[in-house]
Amino acid sequence: MRALEETLRQIFPLDSVAETTCRTRLAATPSASPDVVEAAARLSGIYRGKAEPRGLALALFTAEHGIAVKRETPCSNISGKTSQHIELSTYLVDMRSEAQSAPPGTRVLRRPMAAATHDIGRGPAMSIAAARQSVENGISLADELREYPILAIGCESVGVAYVTCAICARLLGAYQASELPNDARADWVSDILSTACDGKTGLELLAAVGGFDLGGAAGLMLALAARRRAILLTDFASSAAAMIAIKLEPFVRDYLFTVAAQCPLHLRALTWLGTRPLAPFVGDYTESLSEAVAALTAASRLIEDDRA
């Protein structure tokens, strides 16, 4: 059996009995905020009521997207953050064919694919076979990150804004230019959507718009769900990767936590994902991410203390 099918076979919904039991026990905890109590209940359902060791790491995926590379137009990442801004154990998942340097203190996990995807304003980003390979490359990361019961996931590739917008537009339907992130050109998004196929399955949608990084992130999410591990989506792009993962297996929704929405289209995506942000957007996204990490850490400690 292929790695993708084997992973999908192992994904189940969270333990609703453990979730409800934990929520009931913690409801009277005066020192915890309602959001932390809710997160703790979700974590208890994910871990089936068992206490898990504390530990949270960040996996940042990077690749090259042809729509930015081939048009020779700079396109920054959506989040505006780098691994240097986040006080977590950080892993850079490099999916480019040629290795790139990483910031000091960042561990690199290489899963090379190709130099770049195709220009999705002119045709599909990749083949179905390449889409599958990128997802299975992400699945293979789970063993190397197995020590962390909670994993934050982000995507920081050049051109990732366009892939993210295309996935959301395909799954959410009509959108307005004003809903797009500031660094995404509306005419490019329109070009993509006039060319890309609908993508009725997760692999078809990934092949149509890309990219290797989102495929890898989606694969890692599937593997984490199969191992009953919590997932923190750190940016708009990782939310789009989660949408691909959910197209492959809807139960992935149960394992997701998110930070604040970065633009109106991102907010709609979070609604589609069925998850509520752990922190408000406070003008500095790095600060919002730090608040979300703190909330998850507090929730993890809360369920451990409750069982002590």
Q: Where are the domains of the chain?
A: 3-14+55-302
* Averaged pLDDT of the chain: 86
Fold observed for domain 3-14+55-302? Rossmann fold (3.40.50)
- Residue type (1 letter), 78: I
* Per-residue confidence (pLDDT) for residue 44, from 0 to 100: 93
DSSP letter string, the chain: --HHHHHHHT-----HHHHHHHHHHHTT-TTS-HHHHHHHHHHHHHTTT------EEEEEEE-B-HHHHTTT-----SS---GGGS-SEEEEEEEESS-----TT-EEEEEEEES----TTTS-SS-HHHHHHHHHHHHGGGGTTTT-SEEEEEE--BTHHHHHHHHHHHHH----GGGS-TTS-HHHHHHHHHHS---SSHHHHHHHH--HHHHHHHHHHHHHHHTT-EEEE-SHHHHHHHHHHHHH-GGGGGGEEE---SSHHHHHHHHHHT--BSS---S-HHHHHHHHHHHHHHHHHHHHHHH-
Distance CA 156, CA 70 (A): 18
pLDDT at 102 over 90: no
pLDDT beyond 50 at 21: yes
| Per-residue pLDDT at 27 | 80
State the average pLDDT over residues 78-104: 69
Mean pLDDT of 4-26: 94
Give the residue with greater pLDDT, 105 vs 189. 189
pLDDT at site 151: 93
Return the ∠ at Cα 78 (arms to 74 and 80), rounded to 5°: 90
Is residue 79's pLDDT more than 50?
A: no
Q: What is the mean pLDDT of residues 280-296?
A: 79
Higher pLDDT, 218 or 292: 218
